[in-house]
Amino acid sequence: MKIYIVRHGQTQWNTESRMQGALDSPLTQEGIQAAHALKEKIKDLDLDAIYTSPQGRALTTAQILRGDRDLDLVQDSDLRELSVKMWEGRVFDEVKRTNPQELHLYLKEPQNYHPPGEENYYDLMDRARGFLDRLKAQDHQSVLVVSHGVTINALLNVMEDRPVKDFWLKPLVLGTELSLAQEEDGVYQVIYRAGPVNDVTY
């Protein structure tokens, strides 16, 4: 099975460097245009299914990418973004000033990031693993998965069997750029990752 993975298009909060997590903001015109451009690039892919995070920015991107295909969008909550409740809606630089220790753990020591009452990276990796387990049980030859930067990192890290401490060994992927993985008999190979983001908007 070929698994094409794409991050949602640019959002309003991306342009403001606001942390989104479980919250949402609409796609910008640039994000919408980029999704339409990718739709044209992938219009000849023979997809069996499209899986998407139910969050608005991913769902809107998936709707655009579907194009004229007669496919339902399978919304899967395990594809939602990592929740960072204490920071959601806040500008990244403000978080750096007010929560430097927590942010250090979040970015540099993911294995030690355990915010009370919130998701951690182990939770996220479990979610990613659960989604992939369900996916490989389906009879698909080729699928598109639309999700979020941190969650996509988790999916690819699970495929490459990376431990949580190495979560950020590879950077976030660009919005509306494809990563491609291959699954055969339960074994994954990441063929290529989308390029890294040029402005970090977690």
The full 3-state SS of the chain, as one line of letters, equals CEEEEEECCCEHHHHCCECCCCCCCCECHHHHHHHHHHHHHCCCCCCCEEEECCCHHHHHHHHHHHCCCCCCEEECHHHCCCCCCCCCCCEHHHHHHHCHHHHHHHHHCHHHCCCCCCCCHHHHHHHHHHHHHHHHCCCCCEEEEEECHHHHHHHHHHHCCCCHHHHHHCCCECECCEEEEEEECCEEEEEECCCECCCCCC
Residues of the chain scoring pLDDT < 50: none
Enter the pTM of the model.
0.95
Q: What is the pLDDT of residue 159?
A: 97
Here the tokens at position 61 are 């991107």
Q: What is the pLDDT of residue 195?
A: 83
Amino acid at 103: L
Neighbours of 180 (CB within 10 A): 14
Q: What is the pLDDT of residue 202?
A: 52
Contact at 8 Å (CB) between 134 and 1?
Answer: no
Q: What are phi and psi of 192, to 5 degrees?
A: -160, 150
Q: What is the pLDDT of residue 196?
A: 80
Q: What is the pLDDT of residue 199?
A: 54
Residue 123 contacts by C-beta under 8 Å, 6 or more apart in sequence?
none
Please write the tens of the pLDDT for every residue from 44-100.
999 999 999 999 999 999 999 999 999 999 999 999 999 999 899 999 999 999 999
Q: What is the pLDDT of residue 200?
A: 53
d(CA 156, CA 162): 9
